[in-house]
A and B are shown apart, each in its own frame.
Chain A
Amino acid sequence: MSVKAVVEVKEGDVLAALRQFLRGLLEAQVVDALLVPLELPSGDAVVQTLVKDPERLERANPLAPVMPVNSASLVSRLTRRGNREKVGVVLRSCEMRALIELVKLQQASLDNLVTLGIDCLGTYEVTEYAQLRSDDDDGSGPSREQLKAASQGEILPVEGYEFRAACQICEYPVPANVDIAIGIIGVDTETKILLDMGPEIGKEVLEKLGLGEGEAPAREETVAKLVAEREKARDEAFSNFRERVNDVPSLVAQFSTCISCHNCAHACPICYCKECIFETDTFRHPSERYLMWAGRKGAARMPSDTLLFQLTRMNHMVTSCVGCGMCESACPSDLPLALIFRAVGEKVQHLFEYLPGRSLEEELPVATFKEDEFPEYK
């Protein structure tokens, strides 16, 4: 049975309330350290920071609409070989879902971790966010108007700016499977923030922070409405992609500007291989081989195996793709990778009735098998 509580907000200053709440967690030793986005001194960027000194939380900004790195990768670094301190991590939905996949891939651990999921009101590209900050002092997070809109289930970007493509089609604005869920969407944030917590941690938080129980009855319905809108946008985007890429020439054209930098793989929280085959000598071919390939087709694009990289990466990780869009954000050629991988991933995941990040109990499709399945193979 979950414990629902509220954190009081004064005059709609949600950020101040959040800072105070997080500070409370650290000071009351509910956690020994917090991984939370902090404003950088430069004033144009917000990055995940491991904080031990509650004073530093003055600059915490978990509402900042930017995600330079998928935090699941960071949690993996912190916990992959065990973690002995109680660490709280503030995560968006896609970060939590990626973390669940990483735990199943044995690249992260939830031991000693307190996951604080926070509603996502969309993110901008890192450079866009920096521009936004330099345009307008108040661009650090959702404005009071935007928060009011969010309480009605409307997530809108600042005028003149667009959310990342992955965010525009994301039907998971609210994180699941977290220890403490921080609720903003469908909540009257003029006066409160909702906390939805697991029974044990909830009890601890209520006691140590002196919070009162509370509810946000409109939340479920409001979230459902937003989700439905995003699903519609998602299906439309998938449909457009499928119409655009459906034969060899269109497939080749889709990846024509790929420069094989592998930034997508580096940015992807799921691509955890320390030694990706594409970065080994396997792909530093001897001269004769390049010349042989050029001989066979008359010409050979260099460096070789660009499409092979994309298709192989897809085969290796798409069953766990959570659609965070780090790939697309990292791509120097602006390839619509989030859309491509999500669209292809949807049908592949459907083969196994699998949704990445939905449950720790669901086995990775690539890590298991059934004795009787896919009877079409004889």
Chain B
Amino acid sequence: MESFEPRIVAFLCNWCAYTGADLAGTSRLQYPPNVRTIRVMCTGGVDPIYVIKALLEGADGVLIGGCHPGDCHYQSGNLKARRRVAILSSILEQLGLDPDRVWLRWISASEGKRFADTIEEMVQALKEKGPNPMREVWAI
């Protein structure tokens, strides 16, 4: 795959991960431009339907970025998200879809570098995997 550029959709919580991503930007940290960010108020508000839709449309990777456990602005939204991602991963794996295309990461508002590193890491991993086969599948 010489020029395969993975397309990542990132659901980032307003209080931590999105702010962290913003910090990466204001700090002028360089990270790959492959990510399209979607700000949500909390990862607890990320319904699996959003993640599945992204994957079925052909997103190569979906990142869910939230506050570290214990730090959720709404107390436990991220802990609910963690269970939902565990359920989603199990379902994806059992049905022949790749659960490693869905990442759940805790990124705090001050962790601009961690955000940049996460994107870097994800782009690398997805480049190795190759494009999401769903890119070609219209019969769904």
Contacts and interface: CB of A to CB of B under 8 A. Distances in A.
Interface of A: 242, 245-248, 250-252, 255-256, 277, 293-294, 296-301, 305-308, 311-312, 314-316, 318-319, 343-344, 347-348, 351, 365-366, 369-371, 373-374, 377-378
B83 to A, nearest CB: 6
21 contacts: A248-B133, A250-B96, A251-B95, A252-B140, A296-B57, A297-B58, A297-B136, A297-B137, A311-B52, A315-B52, A315-B84, A315-B88, A315-B91, A318-B87, A348-B91, A366-B87, A371-B70, A371-B79, A373-B82, A374-B82, A378-B106
B1 to A, nearest CB: 18
B94 interface: yes
Interface in B38-89: 48-49, 52-53, 56-58, 69-70, 76, 79-80, 82-88
B87 A315 contact: yes
A315 B135 CA distance: 22
A343 B95 CA distance: 10
A321 to B, nearest CB: 12
A312 B140 contact: no
Given A248-B97, A312-B48, 16 more contacts: A245-B95, A256-B139, A296-B58, A297-B135, A297-B136, A308-B52, A311-B91, A312-B49, A312-B52, A315-B84, A343-B94, A344-B90, A348-B91, A366-B80, A369-B79, A374-B83
Given A251-B97, A378-B106, A369 B83 contact: yes
A248 B134 contact: yes
A319 B88 CA distance: 11
Contacts of A319: 87
Interface of B: 48-49, 52-53, 56-58, 69-70, 76, 79-80, 82-88, 90-91, 94-97, 104-106, 133-140
Instruction: Select the residue from B56, B94, B140 with max chain A CB neighbours within 10 A.
Output: B140
Nearest to B49: A312
Nearest to A306: B140
Contacts of A246: 96
Contact of B96 (A248, A293, A306, A315): A248
Interface of B is mostly: helix
Contacts of A250: 96
A315 B83 contact: no
A377 B83 CA distance: 10
Contact of A377 (B97, B106, B135, B140): B106
B53 A247 contact: no
Contacts of B135: 297
Contacts of A305: 53
B113 to A, nearest CB: 15
B94 A377 contact: no
Contact of A247 (B84, B87, B96, B104): B96
Main secondary structure of the interface of A (DSSP, over half): helix
Contacts of A314: 91
The 5 residue pairs across chains A and B that have the minimum distance between CB atoms: A307-B140, A369-B79, A315-B48, A247-B96, A299-B138
Contacts of B133: 248
Q: Which of B56, B76, B95 has the most CB of A within 10 A?
A: B95
B82 A377 contact: yes
Contacts of B56: 307-308, 311
Given A242-B94, A312-B52, A344-B94, A252 B139 contact: yes
A251 B98 CA distance: 12
A308 B97 contact: no
A344 B91 contact: yes
A344 B95 CA distance: 8
Contacts of B138: 294, 297-301
Nearest to B95: A251
Nearest to B80: A369
A92 to B, nearest CB: 27
Contacts of A316: 48
Nearest to A319: B87
B57 A347 contact: no
A299 B135 CA distance: 11
Nearest to B132: A248
A293 B53 CA distance: 12
Contacts of A366: 80, 83-84, 87
Contacts of A308: 49, 52-53, 56, 140
Contacts of B140: 252, 255, 301, 306-308
Nearest to A365: B83
A377 B53 contact: no
A297 B134 CA distance: 9
A371 B91 contact: no
Given A308-B56, A377-B85, A348 B90 contact: yes
